[in-house]
Amino acid sequence: MATTIVLITGANSGIGFATSKVLACASSTFHIIIASRSLEKAEAAKSTIEAASPKGSLSTVVFDVTDEESIEATAALVQQQFGRLDVLVNNAGSGSMDMDLKARFQLCLNTNVIGPALVAAAFRPLLLKSQNPYSIFVSSGERTLTRNAHEKPASHAGIKNGDAYQVSKAALNMLAILEARDYGPQGLKVFAMSPGFVRSNLRGTSEEARSGWGRAGDPEVSGELVLSIVEGKRDGDVGLFVHRDGVYSW
């Protein structure tokens, strides 16, 4: 069976790491490219997954999702090594709740919107060379326009300065909509995906923040959702905003 080449941004931590592990452990047909902005963190993630004796293989690349030049250099490298990309998971993100309004908007929009737009554009030509390409944007189910239009979701209680993150995920959803509209007809299967509320460094690195004050689930559950998408089990929901149990309205 042909290898499925998967590139996951922000794969050294949280959902990106868990997804890399779930896919690598699922099948020998996966080759996972762990993308991180730090070589040290990328190599540590690769070694940790390799210690679990995965069936698939792994490699690492280093780029910051806001650095256009290094994204394009990596796309050229992937072209040279593999000639195509089968799955792109635009996962890297920032949950900045900086007290300074301009600082948090700049960080969230740069990382969660401009970054994925640059990454999607750079890797799109490689995806379009695949027989069965998937482009997945990791969004947030609590940040939809519909769910926030009339009331504050319960999970927002007590969260201060979450405005920039919410705006950035609504904008990311529009990126996914445009990607699906413009490249879906060429065979690109685009999904916006809600990973659920899971353990990671998004809310901070203290145990309290990582565990979402004791409420966060296992990020491998988010990885299982990505696996189901790339295995084609959610193809009926292509172009939509999926979560584990169904589809959200935008």
Ligand X SMILES: NC(=O)c1ccc[n+]([C@@H]2O[C@H](COP(=O)([O-])OP(=O)(O)OC[C@H]3O[C@@H](n4cnc5c(N)ncnc54)[C@H](OP(=O)(O)O)[C@@H]3O)[C@@H](O)[C@H]2O)c1
Q: Given the rule CB under 6 A, which residues bind ligand X?
A: 9-10, 12-16, 36-38, 41, 64-66, 91-94, 111, 115, 138, 140, 195, 197-198, 200-202, 216
Q: Are 129 and 148 in contact (CB under 8 A)?
A: no
Cβ distance to ligand X smaller for residue 4 or 112: 112
Cβ distance to ligand X smaller for residue 67 or 231: 67
CB of 94 to ligand X, least distance (A): 5
170: left (phi over 0), alpha (psi -120 to 50) or beta: alpha
CB-nearest residue to ligand X: 14
Q: Would you report the helix, strand and coil content of the chain in percent, each value rounded to 5?
A: 50, 15, 35
CB of 227 to ligand X, least distance (A): 16
- List the helix and strand counts (H, then E) for the chain: 9, 8
Cβ distance to ligand X smaller for residue 45 or 130: 45
CB of 185 to ligand X, least distance (A): 27
Find the Cα–Cα–Cα–Cα dihedral 94, 96, 100, 102, rounded to 10°. Answer: 30
Cβ distance to ligand X smaller for residue 130 or 240: 240
Is beta strand 246-248 parallel, antiparallel or unpaired with respect to 241-243?
antiparallel
CB of 169 to ligand X, least distance (A): 7
Q: What are phi and psi of 142, to 5 degrees?
A: -85, -5
Catalytically active residues, by annotation: 140, 165, 169
